[in-house]
């Protein structure tokens, strides 16, 4: 038997319903479970009653602050797979929250996409092409592989804060915070227990749309404030994959959500991305130090390997770009000209064009520089430069640079961004 100490109250032996609530509260640091003493064992009945009342009140307050999830629109016919997570095979960083991993299939106008609620990962995205349908995103075989294998963020949602925070440090309302440093001395993509490692609730799912919701508690990965994150994938009438990002909180915190899909419009199993013809609607990139942390300055792309104002292949200056910061390719944040079209990519051999639009101020071009040939997915061993990412975002390290658009979210100022990947063939 165990005693649960909550708000300085000790209780013993709870009902199943209260035990479930307290288990959830334990995960967010609101309760502590300890071994009972002989004296504490004498007060079982009164303690149980008090604890049940307090647990219910605390859970009601938390849900009122963060928001609840409506499952009434769930279309279970869209579920194409449901997997209980194998604890023997699971990556130690995965946070299941007691939920099962589920796999969903969305389709419209010949576009088919398979996603899982583990990290909102896009497992496959099939687009009609000259020679038939092509899967144009790198990924693993199934949801279980996403739970069991280390991978370079294949198709997942990243947060609370995507990209890098210098030294993993920031201040908010006079309070100093130190996050995990999982990228050398810096914090990357929310840390080793970021949103990509969590099983999300599915709020609703239809033929062409799915809504994922995650309640991230105060202190999760070191971040302050309870945060409700909502990510919606929609295949639109215009043949676009639209991603809507929403974040709401009960107190001041920071957030920067994005999707980390690796694209290859020649097919996910093509050797590299060098022959993609890319245009980026940007005149500057953010200046960075040796650790790829923005300094607050900007670099004019004119006359540099980073200039995609006119169409050129990704491979044309890739090596030169990698030599600038020792990145082995592109890994840079482009300052976008404004809401609307951010980039256009074309694969001549397949006839697929992808146009990226967003209301985010920045977009990270990343060319899979650290894919090292050790990871295998969907029958392919992926190599360096097998895929490229166009990650729309707030600027990296924005919390530490006042001149950048703020990544702060408050109760009165929730966050909303969108990205569209429109396909033509």
Phi, psi of 47 (to 5 degrees): -65, -40
Given the residues 186, 187, 189, 260, select the one marked as catalytic: 260
Concerning whether 17 is annotated as a catalytic residue, the answer is no
CA distances from 112 to 108, 137, 262 (A): 7, 12, 17
In sequence order, which ranges of 260-392 are alpha helices (DSSP H)? 318-325
Residue 340: CB atoms within 10 Å: 10
The continuous run of DSSP H or E covering 114 comes out as: strand 111-116
How far apart, in whole angstroms, are the C-alpha atoms of residue 300 and residue 312?
A: 17
How far apart, in whole angstroms, are the C-alpha atoms of residue 95 and residue 201?
A: 12
How far apart, in whole angstroms, are the C-alpha atoms of residue 222 and residue 225?
A: 10
Q: Are 154 and 268 in contact (CB under 8 A)?
A: no
Given the residues 102, 126, 203, 391, select the one marked as catalytic: 391
Q: Are 224 and 175 in contact (CB under 8 A)?
A: yes
CA distances from 155 to 2, 199, 237, 294 (A): 41, 14, 22, 25
Concerning whether 276 is annotated as a catalytic residue, the answer is no
Residue 130, SS3 per DSSP: coil
How far apart, in whole angstroms, are the C-alpha atoms of residue 35 and residue 128?
A: 60
DSSP 194: S
The continuous run of DSSP H or E covering 22 comes out as: helix 16-27
Whether residue 61 is preceded by a cis peptide bond, meaning omega within 30 degrees of 0, is: no
Give the list of residues 6+ apart from residue 396 with CB closer than 8 angstroms, or none. 163, 164, 165, 286, 292, 293, 294, 333, 362, 364
How far apart, in whole angstroms, are the C-alpha atoms of residue 83 and residue 143?
A: 8
Phi, psi of 251 (to 5 degrees): -155, 175
**Which active-site residues does the annotation give?**
260, 391
């Amino acid at each position: 038997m165990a005693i649960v100490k909550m708000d300085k109250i000790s209780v013993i032996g709870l009902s199943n319903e209260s035990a479930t609530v307290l288990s959830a509260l334990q995960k967010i640091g609101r309760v502590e479970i300890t071994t009972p003493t002989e004296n504490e064992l004498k007060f079982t009945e009164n303690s149980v009653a008090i604890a049940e009342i307090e647990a219910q009140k605390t859970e009601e307050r938390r849900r009122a602050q963060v928001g609840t999830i409506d499952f009434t629109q769930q279309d279970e016919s869209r579920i194409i797979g449901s997997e209980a997570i194998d604890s023997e095979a699971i990556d130690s960083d995965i946070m299941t929250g007691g939920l099962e991993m589920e796999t969903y299939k969305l389709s419209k106008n010949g576009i088919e996409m398979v996603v899982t609620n583990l990290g909102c990962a896009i497992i496959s995205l099939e687009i009609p092409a000259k020679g038939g349908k092509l899967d144009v995103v790198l990924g693993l075989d199934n949801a279980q592989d996403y739970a069991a294998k280390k991978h370079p963020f294949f198709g997942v949602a990243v947060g609370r804060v995507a990209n890098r925070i210098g030294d993993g440090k920031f201040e908010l309302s006079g309070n100093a915070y130190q996050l995990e440093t999982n990228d050398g001395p810096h914090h990357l993509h929310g840390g080793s227990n970021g949103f990509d490692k969590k099983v999300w609730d599915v709020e609703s799912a239809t033929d062409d749309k799915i809504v994922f919701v995650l309640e991230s508690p105060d202190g999760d990965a070191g971040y302050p404030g309870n945060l409700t994150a909502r990510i919606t994938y929609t295949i639109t009438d215009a043949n676009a994959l639209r991603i809507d990002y929403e974040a709401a909180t009960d107190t001041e915190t920071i957030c920067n959500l994005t999707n980390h899909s690796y694209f290859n419009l020649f097919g996910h199993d093509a050797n590299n991305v060098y022959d993609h013809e890319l245009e980026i609607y940007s005149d500057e990139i953010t200046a960075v130090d040796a650790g790829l942390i923005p300094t607050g300055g900007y670099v004019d792309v004119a006359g540099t390997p980073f200039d995609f104002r006119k169409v050129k292949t990704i491979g044309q200056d890739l090596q030169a770009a990698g030599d600038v910061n020792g990145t082995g390719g592109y890994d840079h944040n482009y300052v976008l000209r404004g809401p609307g079209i951010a980039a256009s990519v074309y694969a001549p051999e397949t006839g697929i064009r992808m146009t990226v639009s967003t209301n985010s101020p920045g977009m990270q071009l990343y060319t899979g520089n650290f894919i090292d040939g050790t990871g295998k997915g969907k029958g392919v061993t992926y190599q360096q430069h097998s895929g490229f990412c166009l990650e729309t975002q707030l600027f990296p390290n924005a919390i530490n640079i006042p001149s950048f658009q703020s990544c702060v979210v408050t109760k009165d100022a929730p966050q909303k961004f969108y990205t569209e990947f429109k396909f033509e063939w």
